[in-house]
């Protein structure tokens, strides 16, 4: 375990941020960071950029910005790159995605045009509703991994980068059952060489990154760097990894509301969640096997928060149903409608209806940014393997085998901020505060 | 400041719970506790009864029930009493309130019939839309206070009680501007003797309780035990006090949602809250001066949570509007509809609509129970004056002059639970958890 | 075509109302009619009982009750019977259905206990999620039809009835593709004898009724009396038939809202409809083939109302999606949530969200009652074959081959009321009303 | 009464459309008509432009466009003008209103810039929250009226117009109690000369128009051309008049939903309507006396539709409450939230929640256009005085003293379309349709 207040390497030089998948999220991230650098907008939605951290007592009024408290990479030092199955540069891809207005995109047109996707590792067997021309070929999956490592190395050299991180911003792959090939580094590497079908494209990216000493965060719900082989590899190579599935939209709201209901010991009989979304993400999730990946990450949050084993009378009979519907008329404007059937004193029932008219990529982009910056920080602080303190950003956070995952967003935030305080040798916050009385 | 793990007196003997105002909340509390004692229901909604508290590390799996962790009074040791302006006993009052079904009320009919209201201290100038026959008269407000002290003493003796607590469950009084008569114990006592108009009926109850060494919690939004004179008196007499305004319904949801939005640095441009309710509470709040009391407590929560001084770009221009509408068709079934206008990455806007179809008294009754039990605990633990650690239960929590109030329900819960851990000498929880990683 | 003001036979003697399927709708109908007869409630929701009809000019103020304007059967003259696969009498079945409170059901307990289901014609191949013990067996489908005819005849004689009508209140059968066996009476009768698999159980009921000269209305969405063979048989035997699928809940709202949008030439880009329901109906519809039957009737209403062929710019690209979800926590309390994406002047978009928290059987029961009474009226008025004027009650109304169906509920109501005026020789209403000006 | 199929004068030459109030609605109308003329958009939302009318039987499939069926003025023949208290031309005013995007407004910039407001008749006593510099002054109200008549005459001559109509698109004036000065033309004219305080600015416009033989339609909720004096003047001068208050947003939905509930004899216990809006209209309505005007027109619709005198058990106890809240964050995007408490069979309760996220001026502009065109048609057809057949467009339609107003939008549409059929000598539609059955 890392020492309290141990030294963290400075964030000197430039940081490369590579995204597999230059679609809605990836291009919104790139365009946004450039717009912020140019002063067109503030970095709304980003904890690393706008968040503060309270130090000491409430009476001290000491709450620096997080980015001033810790040595995070500066936005001006970020260089973007990525892979995609389409040949569109980031400008064209952003227009296609339709997240940002044309007016906004044009403000950073030359910058976006300069980002051209590298050829992707892609196999339609893992993402059935998509395909495109800009793909690598290789004699086997190990060959493809090596090509990716070559891409990363070249990207780093050509751009004179000090460090690189990878954040998966691509599509959801299909759900895969546990396979023994995932068990160890050696079984996995044999699998790469024999083109094992349980090794998906995203796993090849994760392998290539970790092998290259590059931190890897997974923003999609499929199995990837959370398989034993890659966790082992990350520890061996002393690389930070995190995942999975950016926590945005409905699940974000769930991990806010559920802890609130539980705080008051209000029982929950049923929770029905439906989503309508019309972008490429919706199209991909219209395919049952891809939806299965999503369903798994979306469903587990409630169970972990409510702890039905500890509160069987309150949450033991919860009927939880999640539906995702492809609905083109609203484009990237995702809408989540939840009906929650709760009960309180003497079992009397009440209902909560939540209609969240959100924008998927607008919520995801600052998450991707924060992860890039915090993963880079973790790497410089010598934190290797699973970064549980970044659970805050994920629908299905990775965690050590001996514990359970924390899904409650407020516990996650406490964990994140106390980790930052710990890294800097500050006192941890407990909110006790009895000292002001008497 | 109390010592960590200092001794807490045992909860031996019987605890009297006195409620000024035997209306919807008071009778739902009484009927409910008896139903739970008889085994008709579980104590849903009550943290003291169903809540657990995690001790030590996640791997230890040590999470006792709160009521087993600390010496709380047992439900079987509670004796109820109260005051009301109507002569109805608790059975008749419960039927009138219409919160519980007749079928449920009848299950504990003899018990409820045995609880007859004492004559109330009441002055229509402070609650304009109500009046009733069961009232005390006296030569001045000090005389009324003495009559109440006599009531409390008699109630304690006749019922062979070890301890008593008071929880205000009566109507909302009108908003009063700050008055110098509230400044010190002596100015207040002079005011009682001269019938000062800035001393409302509820303040007379609070004075009588604190003077008698009885803890007092205020469940309504008007000024009461939070005036300097009564805080001073509570410290002098070493009495625990808390308030104000039970956090239920819309504000409960607000203090859940707002911290969630803030955790992600999502900006908020507008928050429109409308309520419809059809019970006596709605009738009282239809009167502008009473609504003003409510408006003040309901409005401040967002401002304290969002900290617009620290986050001016995110929350500096928040337009917050709260409306309460008397709407008889739904009776005690309160409905709160909120529209929240938020913005994220690059200022793109999103909306959240929440429709909370709740039951006011069902949410309030377990809060009143928990407060009775925790106030009694605090008194036995030697905690005097303002109990900030009970902020969790209030729309507008009391706090020490040198700090600011905590409205974030998750910080409030953390504060409450870490206070309990501290009282028992247990290690405080910080959610750091780095020890599981290497 | 029937003559304006032609004679209608009097409603003398008793009317038998037979329902295949004594579940939620059937028992709510029976219990309700008896409660109304006993004076426990008014016939809310029933046009035949509470509706009025305006005659002549607005200035004449002549608006008799429909039931006084025309010779409808009196509620006191109705005798109920039915078939079901469970042996429960109507009292037990009503308790199981859980639509009405136990208190209400007990008010008419002896009456309900007296209604015992006849053995049903049932084949699990057509309703996959249900089964029960109370079923007929026979050497072939014709044999089963003859047993049903025997049941009807016996029911009429034993109860000394003047007339009988059948209203299908049973479960939804699976969707069947068009089959030539449905083409003519003779092909259909051959099919009955050879146990043709395209002849479902409900068709056997319809055949038996029409063959016996008994009007038949279909309250479920599957194909039944709307196949050519049975329409032909109804004409030959001079029997009134109607269908299909009681218009309740979401579709009811759709046929209200859609005409409203169209009246103002507001375009519609998308309409997303989700339903959650927890009763047996929900369980049956959880089966894809049964859902297919429902989907067909639920989807067509919008298309017919919006006439995309006439208004291609407004409705030509409407994306309409209907989802039904089995969600046990809410029982018979069905909830329908709709999101409607509309556009107006210059293409600017707007949205309507509708949350209809309804009760399925409460909406269906008065529809079943009205259909029984109006079908009986039609039969006495000599109206044979398809009763298009009853479209008002159906999600997917039957209509003559040379026209198109009317789904707009206001056109349907106009059609119904002008038909009643026509039958009685009154002037039809056009709402012109220029005579009051000048 | 006008003769069926009587001759209608041709719509030759140019039609002047004058709007008092060049704010959000007025400029959206002007910009929109020009955009449609230029081919940038279709005339969505306009019945005169996109609506069809069925003639003859359903089998004939004869449904011409309304604008081809009757001699309406062509959009290309419309010339706009107006008055306003601000000096901004229509381009500047449209930008300020913020209804249309800057991109759209710029498409017709030169056209809008050419429309400059004439000096308005305005008195802050009638619209308390507004004021501006571009106002007429005169020795008394008659003098102001004469100045307006001079404006109209000049506008007609300078633009070589054949005909002119006025459509009030200005702000809501305060509620005025009935005053005898409104009784006759002569009392009203005396009032103009003596500056009677019961004669508001809008009445001066109406008087000036009618006196000039120009049809006048009132789009706001205040009393204006519906006072006896002006109705009398309209008859004398053979001028068509109509009003009042454009039916848009929440009331539009109410007059759609309420007839739907009533069609099925579903009872209504309560209807709570809240509105949030952030434009100038919202600011004006934040003033209690202006809100009173609105409240009156918004409240009456339900009562007229539900006919509680005819259906006391269903609608006799309806509790109807309407709230309007100024909420700047959403600008011109008005949002209406309704909660409707209904009951059906045996009195069982259900609820409907409707959230209408609309755009006020987008809904109003095509209404203003249709009224201009239909008022011009009426004038050419010789229809003088109150045009009840245009009730379809108003929240509070004007009607003859011997009848009652029709608020049901479907009856209103039937009335409108059958009036058009009547004018052209076509058979009126009754939706009987028995001829297709035998």
The 3 state secondary structure assigned to chain D is CCCCCCCCCCCCCCEEEEEECCCHHHHHHHHHHHHHHCCCCCCCCCHHHHCECCECCHHHCECCEHHHHCCCCCHHHEEEEEEECCCCCHHHHHHHHCCCCHHHHHHCHHHHHCCCCEEECCCCCCCCCCCCCCECCCCCHHHHHHHHHHHHHHHHHHCCCCEEEEEECCCCCCCCCCCHHHCCHHHHHHHHHCCCCCCCHHHHHHHHHHHCCCCEEECCCCCCCCCHHHHHHHHHCCCEEEECCECCHHHHHHHHHHHHHHHCCCEEEEEEEEEEECCHHHHHHCCHHHHHHHHHHHHHHHHHHHCCCCCHHHHCCCEEEEEEEECHHHCCCCEEEEEEEEECHHHCEEEEEEEEECCHHHHHHHHHHHHHHHHHHHHHHCCCEECHHHHHHECCCCCCCCCCCCCCHHHHHHHHHHHHHHHCCCCCCCCCCHHHCC
Q: Are residues A169 and A56 part of one domain?
A: yes
Residues A48/A368, Cβ–Cβ less than 8 Å: no
Residues from chain A contacting residue C337 (CB–CB below 8 Å) = 274, 337, 339
D60–chain C nearest CA distance, Å: 9
Check CB contact of A257 with chain B, cutoff 8 Å: yes
Angle between helix A24-37 and helix A360-381 axes, rounded to 10 deg: 70
State whether A269 and C337 contact (CB < 8 Å).
no
pLDDT (mean) for B15-36: 98
State whether B325 and D330 contact (CB < 8 Å).
no
Task: Count CB pairs under 8 A between chains A and B.
Answer: 280
* Nearest C-alpha neighbor of C168 from the set C116, C74, C114, C245: C245
Cα(C95)–Cα(C101) distance, integer angstroms: 8
Q: What is the CATH number of the domain that holds D195?
A: 3.40.50.720
The beta-carbon neighbor of D104 closest among C58, C346, C383 is: C346
Q: Which residue of B has its CA nearest to A341?
A: B357
pLDDT (mean) for D390-417: 96
Residues D334/D359, Cβ–Cβ less than 8 Å: yes
Least confident of A279-288, A298-307, B415-424, D387-396: A279-288
Q: Are residues D235 and D285 part of one domain?
A: no
Check CB contact of D350 with chain C, cutoff 8 Å: yes
Interface of A with B in 221-250 (CB under 8 A): 235
Task: Count CB pairs under 8 A between chains A and C.
Answer: 49
Provide the 3-class DSSP secondary structure of residue B83.
Answer: strand
Residue B251: predicted pLDDT: 93
Residues from chain C contacting residue D434 (CB–CB below 8 Å) = 1-2, 389, 419, 422
C393–chain D nearest CA distance, Å: 9
Q: What's the 3-state SS for B92-158?
A: HHHHHHCCCCHHHHHHCHHHHHCCCCEEECCCCCCCCCCCCCCECCCCCHHHHHHHHHHHHHHHHHH
Residues C129/C286, Cβ–Cβ less than 8 Å: yes
Provide the pLDDT confidence category of residue B285 given band limits of 50, 70 and 90.
Answer: confident
Q: Give residues with Cβ within 8 angstroms of C155, minimum separation 6.
A: C16, C18, C81, C118, C161, C164
Q: Which residue of C has its CA nearest to A340?
A: C329
Least confident of A293-297, C189-193, D369-373: A293-297
Domain-located, residue C430: no
Q: Are residues D368 and D237 part of one domain?
A: yes
Check CB contact of A347 with chain C, cutoff 8 Å: no
Residues from chain C contacting residue D31 (CB–CB below 8 Å) = 346
Q: Which residue of D has its CA nearest to B319?
A: D329
Least confident of A144-153, A315-324, B29-38, D145-154: A315-324
Task: Count CB pairs under 8 A between chains C and D.
Answer: 282
pLDDT (mean) for D260-279: 95
* Nearest C-alpha neighbor of B340 from the set C426, A354, D57, D117: A354
* Nearest C-alpha neighbor of A417 from the set A45, A69, A53: A53
Query: Which helix (DSSP H) or strand (DSSP E) does residue A331 occupy?
Result: none
The beta-carbon neighbor of B276 closest among D330, D339, D355 is: D339
Provide the 3-class DSSP secondary structure of residue C163.
Answer: strand
Residues A319/A269, Cβ–Cβ less than 8 Å: yes
Check CB contact of D39 with chain C, cutoff 8 Å: no
User: In the structure encoding, which two tokens stand for residue D369, read together?
Assistant: 């256009």
Q: Are residues B255 and B227 part of one domain?
A: no
pLDDT (mean) for C229-249: 96
Q: How many CA atoms lie within 13 A of D16 on its CB side?
A: 25
B250–chain D nearest CA distance, Å: 17
The beta-carbon neighbor of A274 closest among C274, C329, C355 is: C274
Domain boundary among A324, A357, A390: A357
Q: Are residues C178 and C61 part of one domain?
A: yes
Can you list the positions of beta strands (E) in B201-328? 216-218, 240-243, 267-277, 319-326
Residue D431, number of CB atoms within 10 A of its CB:
22
Check CB contact of D343 with chain B, cutoff 8 Å: no
Provide the pLDDT confidence category of residue D295 given band limits of 50, 70 and 90.
Answer: confident
Provide the pLDDT confidence category of residue B291 given band limits of 50, 70 and 90.
Answer: confident
Domain-located, residue A150: yes
Query: Which helix (DSSP H) or strand (DSSP E) does residue B329 occupy?
Result: none
Domain-located, residue A435: no
State whether C313 and D356 contact (CB < 8 Å).
no
Please determine, for residue C438, whether its predicted confidence score (pLDDT) is greater than 80: no
Where would I find the H helices in A212-355? 228-236, 249-263, 280-285, 288-306, 312-315
* Nearest C-alpha neighbor of D127 from the set D327, D322, D285: D285
* Nearest C-alpha neighbor of B223 from the set B84, B396, B368, B26: B396
Residues from chain C contacting residue A274 (CB–CB below 8 Å) = 274, 323, 325, 337
Check CB contact of B438 with chain D, cutoff 8 Å: no
Average pLDDT of chain C is 95
Residues from chain A contacting residue B358 (CB–CB below 8 Å) = 350
Residue A166: predicted pLDDT: 98
User: In the structure encoding, which two tokens stand for residue A413, read together?
Assistant: 């935030």
Domain-located, residue C274: yes
Cα(A371)–Cα(A219) distance, integer angstroms: 10
Provide the pLDDT confidence category of residue D286 given band limits of 50, 70 and 90.
Answer: confident
Domain-located, residue B434: no
Please determine, for residue B1, whether its predicted confidence score (pLDDT) is greater than 80: no
10 Å CB burial of residue C63 (0-12, 13-18, 19+) is middle
State whether C329 and A270 contact (CB < 8 Å).
yes
Interface of C with D in 95-154 (CB under 8 A): 100, 104
Domain boundary among B357, B372, B393: B357
Check CB contact of C272 with chain D, cutoff 8 Å: no
Domain-located, residue D340: yes
- Helices then strands (H, E): number in chain B? 16, 11
Please determine, for residue D296, whether its predicted confidence score (pLDDT) is greater than 90: no
Q: Which residue of D has its CA nearest to C360?
A: D350
Q: Are residues D378 and D303 part of one domain?
A: no
Check CB contact of A331 with chain C, cutoff 8 Å: no
Backbone φ and ψ for D331, nearest 5 degrees, come out as 55, -135
The beta-carbon neighbor of C365 closest among D47, D63, D345 is: D345
The beta-carbon neighbor of C431 closest among D352, D415, D432 is: D415
D342–chain B nearest CA distance, Å: 10
Residue A299: predicted pLDDT: 78
How many structural domains comprise chain C?
2
Residue A6: predicted pLDDT: 87
User: In the structure encoding, which two tokens stand for residue A312, read together?
Assistant: 């069987």
Q: Are residues B214 and B322 part of one domain?
A: no
Query: Which helix (DSSP H) or strand (DSSP E) does residue A63 occupy?
Result: none
Check CB contact of A39 with chain B, cutoff 8 Å: no
Least confident of B254-258, B324-328, C119-123: B324-328
Find the domain containing A409 and state its range: 15-246+362-423
Angle between helix D24-37 and helix D90-97 axes, rounded to 10 deg: 110
Q: Are residues D122 and D209 part of one domain?
A: yes
Residue B314, number of CB atoms within 10 A of its CB:
24
Please determine, for residue B297, whether its predicted confidence score (pLDDT) is greater than 80: no
Check CB contact of A32 with chain B, cutoff 8 Å: yes
Cα(C430)–Cα(A314) distance, integer angstroms: 59
C-alpha distances in Å from residue B229, one per residue of A238, B190, B203, D252:
62, 11, 10, 56
Q: Are residues B255 and B123 part of one domain?
A: no
Residue B331: predicted pLDDT: 85
Q: Give residues with Cβ within 8 angstroms of C196, minimum separation 6.
A: C141, C179, C181, C190
B359–chain D nearest CA distance, Å: 16
The beta-carbon neighbor of D337 closest among B329, B330, B337 is: B337
Q: Are residues B150 and B42 part of one domain?
A: yes
Cα(D331)–Cα(D281) distance, integer angstroms: 10
Cα(C142)–Cα(A401) distance, integer angstroms: 66
* Nearest C-alpha neighbor of D78 from the set D401, D376, D340: D376
Residue B279: predicted pLDDT: 81
Residue A273: predicted pLDDT: 95
Check CB contact of C264 with chain D, cutoff 8 Å: yes
Residue D333: predicted pLDDT: 87
Residue B2: predicted pLDDT: 86
User: b vs e for B268-295, b when ≥16 Cβ sit within 10 Å of the residue's Cβ?
Assistant: bbbbbbbbbbbbbbbbbbbbeebbbbbb
10 Å CB burial of residue D98 (0-12, 13-18, 19+) is middle
Check CB contact of C325 with chain A, cutoff 8 Å: yes
pLDDT (mean) for B229-248: 96
State whether C388 and D256 contact (CB < 8 Å).
no
Residues A215/A239, Cβ–Cβ less than 8 Å: yes
Cα(D275)–Cα(D284) distance, integer angstroms: 14
Residue C298: predicted pLDDT: 76
Q: What is the CATH number of the domain that holds A309?
A: 3.30.360.10
pLDDT (mean) for B255-275: 97
Residues C170/C118, Cβ–Cβ less than 8 Å: no
Cα A156 from chain centroid (whole Å) = 23
Check CB contact of B269 with chain D, cutoff 8 Å: yes
B274–chain D nearest CA distance, Å: 8
Which residue(s) pair with B265 in the sheet?
none
Domain boundary among C326, C357, C388: C357
Provide the pLDDT confidence category of residue C12 given band limits of 50, 70 and 90.
Answer: very high
Please determine, for residue B8, whether its predicted confidence score (pLDDT) is greater than 80: yes
The pLDDT tens digits of the residues spanning B305-333 come to 999 999 999 999 999 999 999 999 988 88
Residue A383, number of CB atoms within 10 A of its CB:
25
Q: Are residues D337 and D377 part of one domain?
A: no
Where would I find the H helices in A38-140? 47-50, 66-69, 90-97, 102-107, 109-113
The beta-carbon neighbor of C256 closest among D256, D411, D432 is: D256
Provide the pLDDT confidence category of residue B434 given band limits of 50, 70 and 90.
Answer: very high
The pLDDT tens digits of the residues spanning D205-241 come to 999 999 999 999 999 999 999 999 999 999 999 999 9
A349-357, strands of its sheet edge to edge: A319-326, A267-277, A335-343, A349-357, B349-357, B335-343, B267-277, B319-326
Check CB contact of C1 with chain D, cutoff 8 Å: yes
Residue D18: predicted pLDDT: 98
Residue D165: predicted pLDDT: 98
State whether B431 and A414 contact (CB < 8 Å).
yes
pTM for this predicted structure: 0.94
Q: Are residues D338 and D199 part of one domain?
A: no
Provide the pLDDT confidence category of residue C284 given band limits of 50, 70 and 90.
Answer: confident
Q: What percent of chain C has pLDDT above 70?
A: 100
CA dihedral B11, B89, B128, B301 (to 10 degrees): 30
Check CB contact of D319 with chain B, cutoff 8 Å: yes
Peptide bond before A244: cis, by omega within 30 degrees of 0?
A: yes
Check CB contact of A337 with chain C, cutoff 8 Å: yes
Rg (chain B; Cα; Å): 22
Interface of A with B in 174-193 (CB under 8 A): none
The beta-carbon neighbor of C414 closest among D264, D431, D438 is: D431
Residues from chain D contacting residue B321 (CB–CB below 8 Å) = 325, 327
Cα(D148)–Cα(D164) distance, integer angstroms: 13
Residues from chain C contacting residue D411 (CB–CB below 8 Å) = 431
Please determine, for residue B362, whether its predicted confidence score (pLDDT) is greater than 90: yes
pLDDT (mean) for D288-301: 81
Provide the residue-wise pLDDT of chain A in tens; the chain has 438 residues. 789 998 999 999 999 999 999 999 999 999 999 999 999 999 999 999 999 999 999 999 999 999 999 999 999 999 999 999 999 999 999 999 999 999 999 999 999 999 999 999 999 999 988 899 999 999 999 999 999 999 999 999 999 999 999 999 999 999 999 999 999 999 999 999 999 999 999 999 999 999 999 999 999 999 999 999 999 999 999 999 999 999 998 999 999 999 999 999 999 999 999 999 888 778 888 888 888 887 877 778 999 999 999 999 999 999 999 999 999 999 888 999 999 999 999 999 999 999 999 999 999 999 999 999 999 999 999 999 999 999 999 999 999 999 999 999 999 999 999 999 999 999 999 999 998 987
Can you list the positions of beta strands (E) in A21-154? 78-84, 118-119
The beta-carbon neighbor of C339 closest among A270, A276, A319 is: A276
Query: Which helix (DSSP H) or strand (DSSP E) does residue B79 occupy?
Result: strand B78-84
Residue D207, number of CB atoms within 10 A of its CB:
29
Residue A128: predicted pLDDT: 86
Domain-located, residue D388: yes
**Do you know the residue count of chain C?**
438
Domain-located, residue A4: no
Check CB contact of C435 with chain D, cutoff 8 Å: yes
Residues D275/D323, Cβ–Cβ less than 8 Å: yes
What single-letter DSSP state applies at residue C36? H
User: In the structure encoding, which two tokens stand for residue C254, read together?
Assistant: 């759709």
């Amino acid at each position: 375990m890392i020492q309290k207040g141990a030294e963290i390497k400075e964030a000197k030089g430039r940081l490369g941020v590579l995204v597999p998948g230059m679609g809605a999220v990836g291009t919104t991230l790139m365009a946004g960071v450039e717009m912020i650098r140019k002063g067109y907008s503030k970095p709304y939605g980003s904890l690393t950029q706008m968040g503060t951290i309270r130090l000491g007592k409430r009476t001290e009024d000491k709450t620096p910005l997080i980015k001033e408290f810790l040595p995070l990479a500066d936005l001006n030092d970020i260089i973007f790159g990525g892979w995609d199955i389409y040949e569109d540069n980031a400008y064209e891809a952003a227009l296609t995605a339709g997240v940002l207005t044309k007016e906004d995109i044009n403000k950073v047109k030359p910058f976006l045009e300069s980002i051209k996707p590298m050829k992707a590792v892609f196999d339609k067997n893992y993402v059935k509703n998509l395909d495109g021309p800009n793909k690598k070929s290789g004699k086997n999956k190990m060959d493809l991994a090596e090509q990716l490592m070559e891409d990363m190395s070249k990207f780093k050299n050509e751009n004179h980068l000090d460090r690189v991180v990878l954040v998966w911003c691509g599509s959801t792959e299909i759900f895969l059952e546990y396979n023994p090939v995932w068990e160890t580094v050696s079984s996995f590497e044999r699998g790469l060489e024999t083109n094992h079908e349980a090794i998906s494209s995203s796993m090849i990216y994760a392998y290539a990154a970790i092998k290259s000493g590059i931190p890897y965060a997974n923003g999609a719900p499929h199995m990837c760097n959370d398989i034993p082989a890659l966790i082992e590899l990350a520890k061996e190579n002393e690389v930070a990894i995190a995942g999975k599935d950016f926590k945005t939209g409905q699940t974000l709201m769930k991990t806010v509301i559920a802890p609130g209901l539980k705080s008051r010991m209000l029982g929950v009989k049923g929770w029905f969640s439906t989503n309508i979304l019309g972008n490429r993400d919706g199209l991909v999730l219209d395919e049952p096997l891809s939806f299965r990946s999503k369903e798994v990450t979306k469903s587990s949050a409630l169970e972990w928060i409510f702890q039905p084993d500890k509160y069987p009378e309150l949450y033991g009979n919860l009927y939880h149903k999640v539906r995702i519907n492809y609905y083109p008329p609203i484009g990237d404007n995702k809408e989540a409608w939840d009906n929650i059937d709760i009960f309180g004193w003497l079992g009397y029932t009440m209902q909560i209806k939540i209609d969240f008219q959100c924008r998927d990529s607008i919520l995801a982009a600052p998450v991707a940014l924060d992860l890039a910056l915090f993963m880079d920080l973790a790497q410089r602080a010598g934190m290797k393997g699973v970064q549980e303190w970044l659970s805050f950003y994920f629908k299905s956070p990775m965690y050590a085998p001996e514990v359970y995952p924390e899904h409650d967003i407020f516990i996650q935030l406490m964990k994140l901020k106390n980790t930052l305080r710990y890294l800097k040798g500050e006192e941890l916050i407990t909110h006790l505060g009895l000292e002001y009385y008497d």
